[in-house]
Amino acid sequence: MRICLFPGTFDPVTLGHIDIINRALPLFDKIYVGIGVNAAKNPMFSAEQRMQWFQEIYKNDKRVESVVFDGLTIKYCEKIGAKFILRGIRYVSDFEYEKTIADANRTLDSSIETIFLTGEPKYTSVASTIVRDILRNGGNASPFLPQAVINTLEAE
């Protein structure tokens, strides 16, 4: 079974994240969306909320499961039996950063491979950081967000 971990903060979940997951689905039997808890970051949305968004978006596809984890990504891969780490790339600068992490992960466990997917051009500008700025300043971030996230924001 080809098990993959797609780690990130997903704060909030964007259409860019969904694009990467949807295009990775034919490659893997199971994709765990790993919502990383990072003590250095102060998220806008709780890890539980982010997990619920993925559960709602993929409620009809049991191949996608959202989980919350902390610690080393490689250790979590070992825990769930994932042999692949999925990462989305928007720009060349993303690749340089992600390759450094992939190299470190390979050093820690050479049996786990990092797979990079480039984002669809229409989602290149979709970054959670930008979306959070739009939301904090009262703007309309809905063009960048899946419906499950929009519904939550409208309910608040």
Which three-class secondary structure string do you get for the chain? CCEEEEEECCCCCCHHHHHHHHHHHHHCCEEEEEEECCCCCCCCCCHHHHHHHHHHHCCCCCCEEEEEECCCHHHHHHHHCCCEEEEEECCHHHHHHHHHHHHHHHHHCCCCEEEEEECCHHHCCCCHHHHHHHHHCCCCCHHHCCHHHHHHHHHC
User: What mean pLDDT, rounded, does the chain reach?
Assistant: 94
Q: What token pair was written down for 75?
A: 């250790």
Share of the chain above pLDDT 70, in %: 99
Which tens digit of pLDDT belongs to each residue from 6-28?
A: 999 999 999 999 999 999 999 99
Residues 82-99: what's their mean pLDDT?
A: 92
- Identify the bridge partners of residue 116 per DSSP, sorted by sequence position: 87
Find the domain containing 82 and state its range.
3-155
Q: What is the mean pLDDT of residues 132-140?
A: 92
Domain with residue 96: its CATH number is 3.40.50.620
The catalytic residue positions are 17, 41, 90, 128
Report the interhelical angle of 73-80 vs 92-108 (nearest 10°): 60
Give dist(CA 107, CA 104) in Å, integer.
5
- Total domains present in the chain: 1
pLDDT tens digits, one per residue of 99-108: 999 999 999 9
Structure confidence at residue 117 (pLDDT): 96
Residue 63 confidence class, pLDDT cut points 50, 70, 90: very high
Give the total residue count for the chain. 156
pTM of the model: 0.94
- The mean pLDDT of 39-57, rounded to a whole number, is 91
108-117, 133-142, 147-156: which is most confident: 108-117
